[in-house]
Copies of this chain bind each other. A is one copy, B any other.
Amino acid sequence: MDLKKRIEALGTMPGDLFQKDFLLTWEKSDASLVYILELAGILMQMRQENISSKVFDSGLAVSIFRDKSTRTRFSFASAANLLGLAVQDMDEEKSQISHGETTRETAQMISFLTDIIGIRDDIFLGEGNKYMREVGASLNEGFAKGVLPVRPGIVNLQCDMDHPTQSMADLMHLKNHFGSLENLKGKKIVMSWAYSPSYGKPLSVPQGVIALMTRFGMNVKLAYPEGYELIPEIVDLARNNAKASGGSLQVSHDMKAAMKDADIVYPKSWAPFKVMEQRTQLLTKGDKQGLVELEKVCLARNAEHKNWEYNADKMKVTKNQDALYMHCLPADISGVSCKEGEVSAEVFEKYRLLTYQEAGFKPYAIAAMMFANRFANPAEQLAKLLQKNEKRVF
Contacts and interface: CB of A to CB of B under 8 A. Distances in A.
Interface stretch (A71-79, A121-129, A192-200, A300-308): A71-79
Given A54-B394, A363-B112, A381-B394, A60 B48 contact: no
Interface in A338-374: 353, 356-357, 359-360, 362-363, 374
B78 A391 contact: no
A113 B47 contact: yes
A349 to B, nearest CB: 10
Contacts of A285: none
A36 interface: no
* Copies of this protein in the complex: 3
Interface in A53-75: 53-60, 62, 68-71, 73-75
Given A56-B394, A109-B359, A394-B54, A77 B82 contact: no
A149 interface: yes
Contact of A385 (B69, B109, B353, B394): B394
A86 interface: yes
Interface of A is mostly: mixed
B81 A95 contact: no
A78 B113 contact: yes
A58 B71 contact: no
Contacts of A330: 102, 105
A192 B78 CA distance: 44
Interface centre among A68, A105, A141, A337 (most CB of B within 10 A): A105
B88 A86 contact: no
Interface string A128-155: 0000000000000110011111000000
Given A77-B86, A394-B384, A109 B329 contact: yes
A244 interface: no
Contacts of A289: none
Interface centre among A97, A102, A114, A147 (most CB of B within 10 A): A147
A56 B356 contact: no
A1 interface: no
A374 to B, nearest CB: 7
Contacts of A362: 112
A48 B149 contact: yes
Nearest to A110: B74
Nearest to A150: B393
In the A-B complex, the 5 residue pairs with the closest CB atoms: A70-B95, A78-B113, A55-B394, A52-B57, A147-B356
18 contacts: A52-B57, A55-B394, A56-B393, A56-B394, A57-B394, A59-B393, A78-B114, A81-B86, A86-B87, A102-B337, A105-B330, A105-B356, A112-B362, A141-B353, A142-B353, A147-B360, A374-B393, A385-B394
Interface of A: 47-48, 52-60, 62, 68-71, 73-75, 77-78, 81-82, 84, 86-88, 90, 94-97, 101-102, 105-106, 108-110, 112-115, 141-142, 145-149, 329-330, 333, 336-337, 353, 356-357, 359-360, 362-363, 374, 381, 384-385, 390-394
Given A70-B96, A108-B359, A112-B363, 17 more contacts: A56-B394, A57-B393, A57-B394, A60-B78, A62-B74, A69-B95, A70-B95, A73-B94, A74-B88, A74-B112, A77-B88, A78-B114, A82-B113, A102-B337, A109-B329, A113-B363, A142-B353
